[in-house]
Amino acid sequence: MSNRLVASVAIATAIMSGLLLTGCASEAAPTHSPAPHPTVRSVSPTPTPTPSAPSAIGTSATATSAQVAVYGSPNGSVIENLANPQPSGAPLTFLVASSQGAWLQVDLAQRPNGSTGWIQADSVALHSLVYSLQASTEQNTLTLLKNGEPVKTYSAATGTGGTPTPHGSFYITELLEPTNGGYGPFAFGLSAFSDVLSSFGGGPGQIGLHGTDDAGSIGHAASHGCIRLANPDITELAGLLPLGTPITIS
């Protein structure tokens, strides 16, 4: 991961960035408090830039300025301004849903799940995506696909019946290297948020894809909503997947 910037941030920043993900403790386990200085590994997109419309797999859009305005419609009113980088230090990244002239419709990492907005195409750099993920909460698996073809399926832990992993289409927003226990060596933040928990451990109830110190939970419905992998598996994906990678949860 030599092309990835490593930065340390204070705990207040980590909380804002969603380090305290919804399902990072087992149903019966105590909630872990974050360490004073979690380490954040910010991912630089690796695919070749794409100046055209989204590809069949997907296209990510990485902010190129300190702020990106999000509009309700092309040439409409600004509904919010998003800072780049994110509070975690990761570059502000979107998944492109569609394009219209000089405008891009993008998925937004916020409540409600499935939120979209419009940004100006000249405010971002586009990157073609070849990898995608499919998670099954029924089978407790995560499948890696390349160009739409399955490459590998991992056993996973997902949410319990009371705190289910939300279903839908989402994307990877950031890559963290936690120093606090329970998350394993790496944690991807996703654009998904819990449908039942509005907050968790001081965070906003953001769903994550991460490792775990509880290897026995893998393959079961055991989390508060996050998707857990064995630590070697999350390490493999951390070295492979860029921000913006789409993930479908069903």
Name the residues annotated as catalytic: 210, 226
Task: Output the six-digit token pair for 229.
Answer: 């992998």
228 Cβ contact list (under 8 Å, min separation 6): 23, 156, 157, 158, 184, 210, 211, 212, 214, 217, 218, 222
**H-type alpha helices, the chain:** 11-17, 231-238
Q: CA–CA distance from 133 to each of 97, 103, 144, 150, 245 (Å)?
A: 16, 26, 5, 9, 8
Residue written as token pair 């939970």: 217
Two tokens, residue 177: 């290297």
Cα 173 to Cα 208: distance, rounded to the nearest angstrom: 10
Most distant CA atoms of the chain, gap in Å: 52
CB-based contacts of 4: which residues, under 8 Å, 6+ apart? 41, 42, 43, 44, 175
